[in-house]
Amino acid sequence: MSLSELQTYPFDYFEILKANNPAHYFKAVHVYKFNADEHRYLVTFEEYVYQVYVLHFCLEALQDNPNKFNILAHVGPVKAKKVIGTCVQIGLSIYAKNPLASFVFTAGPAADEFDLTNTKRFSVYTYFAEFFFNAEHFTHAFSREKESYLLLNKKYEQQDPDAMRKITDMLDLK
């Protein structure tokens, strides 16, 4: 399957929330929303220095819940694939605007999972990362212990050979 064959939902760019302290490593949050049949999703890409964007998404109705990223919608595999594909499309839209962008996602356990180092979510997200973010353009690095995955843009890495260490230290991904 190619990216063009992946079914996704239309999404809207909602807003950008800029950081109050420009000297800090955190720069902004880019907020997107989309409808997936009976659910509405909130997708954020936190922007940091080193051209890195951290993906988070949840049901919009849960946005004020402290466990919002650990609650599954149980929409079934077809809809889940479209939801994750939509997040990939949003990331690629950021990449189209910023060809030096790198991406990070975390995939913590769902509320009902007990094996915290081998979650279903991490396995699924890893598949999407490996399939849609070509190793020719991105260095793939992950930590099962932290349930984090870094897609380091090789163009940016050429400009800053120490980028991997800087990003993993900044976001505590080791």
Residue pLDDT, tens place only, 123-171: 888 888 888 888 999 999 988 788 889 999 999 999 999 999 999 999 9
pTM for the model: 0.90
CA atoms within 13 A on the CB side of 54: 19
Residues paired with residue 103 on neighbouring β-strands, in sequence order? 53, 151
Q: How far apart are CA 72 and CA 74, in angstroms?
A: 6
Which pLDDT tens digit goes with each residue over 111-120?
A: 565 555 567 7
Q: How far apart are CA 93 and CA 12, in angstroms?
A: 11
| C-alpha closest to that of 63 among 55, 53, 71 | 71
Q: How far apart are CA 95 and CA 117, in angstroms?
A: 29
Q: Which residues of 26-62 are buried (b: 16+ CB within 10 A; e: fewer)?
A: bbebbebebebeeeebbbbbbbbebbbbbbebbbeeb
Q: How far apart are CA 174 and CA 142, in angstroms?
A: 8
Q: What percent of the chain shows pLDDT beyond 70?
A: 90
Residues paired with residue 29 on neighbouring β-strands, in sequence order? 17, 46
Which pLDDT tens digit goes with each residue over 39-92?
A: 999 999 999 999 999 999 999 999 999 888 877 777 778 888 899 999 999 999
| C-alpha closest to that of 12 among 38, 48, 43, 45 | 43
